[in-house]
Amino acid sequence: MSLQFNSDVEAVDFLREKYTLLKDEIAKVIVGQQSVVEEVVVALFSNGHSLLVGVPGLAKTLLVNTVGQLLGLQTNRIQFTPDLMPSDIIGTEILNEARQFKFVKGPVFTNFLLADEINRTPPKTQSALLQAMQEYNVTASGIKYELPKPFFVLATQNPIEQEGTYPLPEAQLDRFMFNIVVDYPSYEEEVEIVKKTTVGETTELQPILTSEEIVFFQKLIQKVPVNDNLMRYAVEVVAKTRPDTTQEDIVKEYVQWGVGPRASQYLIIGAKTHAVLHGKYAPDIEDVKAVAYPILRHRIVRNYKAEADKISADTIIGKLL
């Protein structure tokens, strides 16, 4: 489908209408979790990947499958286990009938990749996604293979305190634009979940967007104007997380490693998307603050004192904002 608009403003208005439809369709399946849904969609249109963190049974996988279905994207799922190998993700070469090696593509060749329980596999296998997430291609036997567009990784992770989990390497964490915390539903929401899921009814979902439209809107958001003051504010917030250069006492006391420049880039692109989805044609400081927590919380490396004093990354971010 070819989208034709008289102006970028008209295209932004169209995207916001689609976003409203998308939320309404998701609500037919997912009860509550509005902030989680919003952050997943913001990351998608920002062309970024997301990490969903929460205990088992909070509908993380259901949310991912629902979003993939509504966006008309080819969706693959990888269940990460301790014996998973890199070739199980990227693909492998096999000897065909003509006695020639042929590359058989793995599940990473898709639009929407669900990496389920990504921290239940060792770092060697987790790192197989690094090139794909950053460069949107993979290399096998010295040959580079391009991934389809859009390409979006949505990984779920169990809390690190649970049995059989491996911590994600910092380089892997940094590839995720958002770290989204999925919390328990409220009492009323849980009653509604039980009502919906114990009567044997199925919900028919209608696709809202196509892959071509998603790529179009990702490019549109890149064109949203941002003033220099907002860019300076975003960079200032990121710089405050670095113990060597900050004036913030809480950072000097509790942070071992600060945040890299990729976070500054994500703060601006995330603020653009957040603004567009909320009826604005340019982002402001409130939009940066709205995306700051999921962008920064997994990039701030706390020290032992922070662990001992139970100071979370979110507490530190709150002080900085």
Per-residue pLDDT band for 167 (boundaries 50, 70, 90) equals confident
What is the model's pLDDT at position 246? 82
Distance CA 138, CA 121 (A): 20
Question: Nearest 5°: phi and psi at 113?
Answer: -100, 120
What percent of the chain is predicted at pLDDT more than 90? 15
Q: Which amino acid makes up residue 34?
A: Q
Is the pLDDT at 255 greater than 90? The verdict is no
| DSSP annotation string for 152-191 | EEEEEE--TTSTT--PPPHHHHHHEEEEEE-PPPPHHHHH
C-alpha torsion sign, points 133, 235, 8, 209: positive
Same topology, domains 8-195+209-215 and 225-320? Answer is: no
Mean pLDDT of 211-218: 86
pTM summary value: 0.85
What is the model's pLDDT at position 267? 94
Mean pLDDT of 45-65: 81
**Which residue in 261, 221, 272 sits closest to 237, CA to CA?**
261
**Domain boundary assignment for the chain:** 8-195+209-215, 225-320
Is the pLDDT at 277 greater than 60? The verdict is yes
What is the model's pLDDT at position 295? 93
> Are 112 and 73 a contacting pair, CB within 8 Å?
yes
Among 31-45, 53-67, 211-225, name the one with the lowest average pLDDT: 53-67
Q: Which residues contact 1 (CB under 8 A, 6 or more apart)?
A: 210, 212, 213
In the chain the first and final C-alpha atoms are separated, in Å, by 42
Per-residue pLDDT band for 163 (boundaries 50, 70, 90) equals low
Per-residue pLDDT band for 286 (boundaries 50, 70, 90) equals very high
Per-residue pLDDT band for 164 (boundaries 50, 70, 90) equals low
Residue 210 neighbours by CB distance under 10 Å: 14
Mean pLDDT of 202-229: 85
What is the model's pLDDT at position 230? 93
What is the model's pLDDT at position 162? 60
| Angle, CA of 192, 198 and 200, to the nearest 5° | 125
Residue 178 neighbours by CB distance under 10 Å: 25
Per-residue pLDDT band for 158 (boundaries 50, 70, 90) equals confident
Highest mean pLDDT among 87-101, 166-180, 203-217, 267-281: 267-281
What is the model's pLDDT at position 266? 93
Question: 8-195+209-215 falls under which CATH superfamily?
Answer: P-loop containing nucleotide triphosphate hydrolases (3.40.50.300)
Distance CA 152, CA 52 (A): 13
Mean pLDDT of 138-156: 85
What is the model's pLDDT at position 22? 86
Q: pLDDT averaged over the chain?
A: 84
What is the model's pLDDT at position 291? 93
> Are 186 and 34 a contacting pair, CB within 8 Å?
no
Is the pLDDT at 2 greater than 60? The verdict is no
Mean pLDDT of 139-160: 83
Q: Could you say which architecture CATH assigns to the domain 225-320? A: Orthogonal Bundle (1.10)
- Looking at residue 234, the DSSP 8-state letter turns out to be H
Among 133-142, 165-174, 275-284, 304-313, name the one with the lowest average pLDDT: 165-174
Per-residue pLDDT band for 235 (boundaries 50, 70, 90) equals very high
Mean pLDDT of 137-166: 79
What is the model's pLDDT at position 160? 60
| DSSP annotation string for 33-64 | -HHHHHHHHHHHHTT-EEEEE--TTSSHHHHH
